Amino acid sequence: MHEALEVRTVHDGDASLVIVTGEIDLSTSTRVNRELDAVLDREPPPARLRLDLSGVSFMDTSGVAVLLKARRRALEHGCRFSVSSSSPTITRLLEVTGLTEMLRD
């Protein structure tokens, strides 16, 4: 059984923080993707977008794809993008996939 996914966004001036808890997989990654798109579609887009994955217990390759898409879109908007407070499970996934440096704060 899936751990319920929760996605919450906090805006503070020109910075946005997206906090995700639960599992990110093929069936839930769309929700994370929509939230990140909504933040980046704001006018003006944030100068900084942080993604807090400390409450994420599992993420598969569909979640990794969402992170890479959000990073690319953020850079296109001149927005700094980073993943912070990742759980040990997610930290290991980012290390194995070589994404740690790319997504670092």
The strand pairing partners of 15, in sequence order, are: 12, 48
Instruction: List per-residue pLDDT tens for the chain, 105 residues long.
Output: 567 899 999 999 999 999 999 999 999 999 999 999 999 999 999 999 999 999 999 999 999 999 999 999 999 999 999 998 778 889 999 999 899 988 987
Long-range own/partner contacts, residues 7-13 (CB < 8 A, 24 or more apart): 7/31, 7/32, 7/35, 9/35, 9/38, 9/39, 11/46
User: What's the pTM value of the predicted model, to 2 decimals?
Assistant: 0.92
CATH 3.30.750.24 fits 6-96, yes or no: yes
Chain segment 28-56, per-residue pLDDT in tens: 999 999 999 999 999 999 999 999 999 99
Domain boundary assignment for the chain: 6-96
**% of residues, the chain, pLDDT over 70:** 97
